[in-house]
Amino acid sequence: MRDVHVRPVRDLRNNYPQVESLLDNHGQVILTKHGRGAAVLINFEDYTEIAEYTHYKYVAEKLREAEAEAAKPTAKWLDYKTVIRKLRKKYNA
């Protein structure tokens, strides 16, 4: 589990080196404004990891949906040329 630190938004301006140090150590910084959560900061490497994982989950779910749809006896199949033609028409390529 990564360390979570709560800091007021003004720390970005007044104590940025300290905030940056927390991020360099893979910490998460919750910024508050008037005592309420305003934003969360994470370092870029952690963000990239989260984004890749989220994208992977999305693609895996869509693949499961497509496989389930293809397994239905009423599934309609298109030949390669038809698929390419429809994609070009849709995306103006």
> Model confidence over 29-42: pLDDT tens digits?
999 999 999 999 99
Name the residue ranges covered by the structural domains of the chain.
4-42, 45-91
CATH of the domain spanning 4-42, picked from 2.40.110.20, 3.40.1620.10, 3.60.110.10, 3.40.50.620: 3.40.1620.10
**What pTM was computed for the model?**
0.65
Structure tokens given for 37? 């959560």
Q: Are β-strands 28-33 and 36-41 bridged in parallel, bridged antiparallel, or unpaired?
A: antiparallel
Q: CA geometry: angle at 85 spanning 72 and 81, to 5°?
A: 65
**12 and 19 in contact (C-beta within 8 Å)?**
yes
Q: What are phi and psi of 25, to 5 degrees?
A: -95, 20
Contacts of 25 (CB under 8 A, 6+ apart): 3
What band does 84 get if pLDDT is binned at 50, 70 and 90? very high
